[in-house]
Structure 1
Amino acid sequence: MTLRTALYLSLICLLAGCVRTGGPVDPMSTEEGRDAARDAYIQLGVGHLQQGSTERAKEPLRKALELDPSSSEAVAALAVVYQYEMEPKLADEHYRKAISLSDGDARILNNYGGFLFEQKRYPEAYTQYLKASQDTLYNERSRVFENLGLTALQLGKREEAKQHFQKALRLNSQRSVSLLQMGVLSYEDKDYVAARSYYAGFSQQAQQNPQSLLLGIRLAKVFQDRDQAASLGLQLKRLYPGTPEYQQYVSEQ
C-alpha cells in the first residue's frame, strides 16, 4: 500500500465516521475529528506536491483550510505550491500569512528565505534566515546557518559567510555545502592545509560538481599531485565542459 493510498483510506474513514458502540459518529462533530481530517488533507496535499503534482495538491489543501482557516501548515504548503508554479506574488503572500499564523515558525521562515533567495531578494532572505536561526531547538538549524552563509556571499559579506559556514559545521559536521564553501574560502585565503581538509570532508559526503572539481584541481597543483590534478581535470572536461569553472580551469593551464 502506498502512502497516498493510505492517506486516502484514512480520509475515507474520517469523513465516513468511525463505528463505535452505539453506532456511527460524525467525526466533524468533535474538535479532535476536525483536526485529524485537516491533518490528513494536509498530508495528502503535501504528498501530491512531493510527487510534482501541484494542481492535485491544491484541492486537499483548500479543504484543510475550510476545516481550519488558521492552519499555518496548510497555508505554508500552498506557498510552496505557488512557488513551484512560479507565482511569486501568491507565494510571497502565503509565506507571510503562514509566518504570521505560526508566530514565526523556524521551518517556515527558512523556507521563505529560500523562496526569497530564489527570487534574488538577498537582503530579505538574509533577514528571514537570521530570524529562523534564533530558534535553538530547530532540528535543521545547521541548514539555516548554511543558507545564511550562501546569502552572505551573495551580499559580499565574506567574513560573515565564513562564520555562518563554521557555525553550520559545528552543528552538523557533514554539511557538504558548508564544507565545500569553507574549502573555497580557505583556498582563497591561502590556507591550503585547511582547504584540503574541508575538500576531503566534502568529497566523503557528496558527489563532485564543477566548483568542487576546480577546487580539487587547484589544491592538487598546490600539493604537487599531478595525477590527481589531471584526473580531476578530465572529469571537469567530460562532465561540465560548458561551465564557467571549466573555462577558468582552461585559462589556468
Structure 2
Amino acid sequence: MTLRVALLLLFVSLSAGCVLSGDFNPMKTSKGRDEAREAYVQLGLGYLQQGMTERAKVPLKKALELDESDADANAALALVFQAEMEPDLADQHYRKALAARPSDARILNNYGSFLFEEKRYKDAYQRFEQAAADTLYPERSRVFENLGMTAVMLGDRDLARQHLEKALRLNRQQPRALLEMAELSFEDRHYVPARDYYDRFSLLSEQNARSLLLGVRLATVFEDRDKAASYGLQLKRLYPGSPEYQQYLSEQ
C-alpha cells in the first residue's frame, strides 16, 4: 500500500504591478520586500506544479535571500526536494518552515505525508495529529484520512477506522478513505458495509490494482460470477505484473 503525497498547494495568480515612475524602489520598503518574497514563492510553486523542479529553485532561492526563515519559501523548497527524491534536504526545509510557523496545518500535513513516504510512520502520525488540531483547516478531512492510513501502517486497525470514519464525516467524497474502509470491513468479514464503501469508491475513482482485487473478492462473496470475472480481466489487462494480480491467480 502506498500513500501518494498530497501536495496541498494554493496557487494564486500574480497580478501585474502598478506602473511607477521616478526612482521608487519597492525593495527599500518592508512591504515591497514582503510582496517580492511572496511573488518569488508563488513563481516557484508554479514551476513545481508543472514538474519543473530545477527552475522552481531559482525564485525560491531569491525568496530565501530576502528572508531565510520564511515558512512558505522553506515549505515550497521542501516539496521541490521531496519531488527530486532528496529526503535529507526536504526534511531540513520542512523543519525550517515549522520553526517559523509551528502550527501551520498545511505544512504539518505535507511534512506528515513526506514522513509517511519515508516509512517514518510514528513521526508522520505525530505531524498529522498536530495538523488535525486546527479545526478551521479547510483540508482537515484529508488530515484524518492520512491519520487513518498511518494508523493502518502502525497496526492499529481500530484507531484507523476511527480516523477514516471521521474523515468521511467531514467529506464523504474521499476515494482513498472509502477504499481503505472497504478493505478493513472486508478483512473483518463485514461484507455488506464493505460492498457499500466499495460501491461509493467506484463512483468517485478509477480502479487500481488493489481495488480490482478487492472487487473480485467481494463479487465472489456475493456470488456475482460475471462481476468477479470482469474485475479479474481488468486486473490481468491493466496490471499483469502487479502483486495483486499474482494474488488473484493464487486464489483462483
Mark yes or no: TM-score above 0.5: yes
- For 1:151, the equivalent position in structure 2 comes to 150
Q: Work out the CA distance in 2 between the residues paired with 1:147 and 1:223.
A: 31
1 or 2, which has the higher helix percentage? 1
Return the offset for 1:149. Answer: 1.1
Residues 125 and 150 in structure 2, CA contact (< 8 A), matched pair in contact too: yes
Aligned partners of 1:187, 1:103: CA distance in 2, in Å? 39
Cα separation, 2, equivalents of 1:116 and 1:248: 29
Letter in 2 for 1:203: S
Question: 2:31 — aligned with what?
Answer: 32
In 2, Cα distance between equivalents of 1:109 and 1:163: 21
Match of 1:196 in 2: 195
RMSD of aligned C-alpha atoms? 1.8
Is 1:174 the equivalent of 2:170? no
Q: For 1:85 and 1:212, how far apart are their aligned partners in 2? A: 29
Find the residue that maps to 1:19 and give its secondary structure: coil
- Structure-2 residue corresponding to 1:102: 101
Find out whether 1:19 has 2:20 as its counterpart: yes
Could you list the structure 1 runs, at least 4 aligned residues long, displaced by more than 6 angstroms after superposition: none
- Aligned residue pairs: how many? 241
Which structure has the greater CA radius of gyration?
1
Q: Match of 2:172, SS?
A: coil
Structure 2 gap ranges (5+): 1-12
Shift of residue 135 of structure 1? 0.7
Aligned-residue identity in percent? 64
In the TM superposition, what is the alpha-carbon distance from 1:117 to its structure 2 partner?
Answer: 1.0
User: Which SS does the other structure have where 2:20 is aligned?
Assistant: strand
Alignment partner, residue 136 of structure 2: 137
Are residue 50 (structure 1) and residue 49 (structure 2) matched?
yes
How far apart in 1 are the matches of 2:113 and 2:46? Answer: 20
Q: What secondary structure, in the 3-state scheme, does the structure 2 residue paired with 1:207 have?
A: coil
Q: What are the equivalent positions in structure 2 for 1:60-71 lying under 5 Å apart?
A: 60-71=59-70
Offset at residue 24 of structure 1 (A):
4.8
Please give the TM-score of this superposition, normalised by the length of structure 2.
0.90
Q: Report if aligned partners of 2:141, 2:168 keep a CA contact under 8 Å in 1.
A: yes
Counterpart Cα distance in 1 of 2:232 and 2:58: 50
Q: Which digits, 9 at most, give the CA deviation of each residue in 1:199-220, with x for residues without a partner?
A: 0100000000111111111111
The answer on whether the counterparts of 2:63 and 2:73 sit within 8 Å (CA) in structure 1 is yes
